[in-house]
Amino acid sequence: AQSVSQHNHHVILSEAASLELGCNYSYGGTVNLFWYVQYPGQHLQLLLKYFSGDPLVKGIKGFEAEFIKSKFSFNLRKPSVQWSDTAEYFCAVKGGSGSARQLTFGSGTQLTVLP
């Protein structure tokens, strides 16, 4: 079965610091990869997605992620975080087969940005 690992459960940064959140998945075939964000009191929102092509994908709010197939990784990065980036971040994977349309989520990383 597909599994997703987010190794950082809680990350605390100061404003303007750089961010990298790790995500590793287990499925060896074709995958679709996603990062979702959940701001306090809000619903899950899509930050960015990777389906194919350029392994460096850019999302909203200055976030980007790099797909490294050999490492089964899809790490999320932002060069300079803001206080408003405080939220919980979820990495998710969808397998390519027809019976695997659902998302498998990582356990989430709570990011706290100090002003």
Partner 1 sequence: EAGVTQSPTHLIKTRGQQATLRCSPISGHTSVYWYQQALGLGLQFLLWYDEGEERNRGNFPPRFSGRQFPNYSSELNVNALELEDSALYLCASSPLQGRSNQPQHFGDGTRLSIL
In order, the DSSP letters of 27-71 are --S-EEEEEEEE-TTS--EEEEEE-SS-SEEE-GGG-EEEEEGGG
Write the interaction track for partner 1 spanning residues 46-85; mark x where CB under 8 A is met and - where it is not: x--x-xx---------------------------------
Is residue 96 involved in binding partner 1 (CB under 8 A)? yes
Which residue in this structure is represented by tokens 């999320």?
A: 76
Residue 14: both structure tokens together: 């100061």
> How far is residue 20 CA from its own chain's centroid?
10
Q: Rule CB under 8 A: say whether 36 interacts with partner 1.
A: yes
Q: Contact region for partner 1 (CB under 8 A) — 10-18, 32-40, 63-71, 74-82?
A: 32-40
Residue ranges binding partner 1 (CB under 8 A): 32, 34, 36, 42-46, 49, 51-52, 90, 92, 94, 96, 98-108
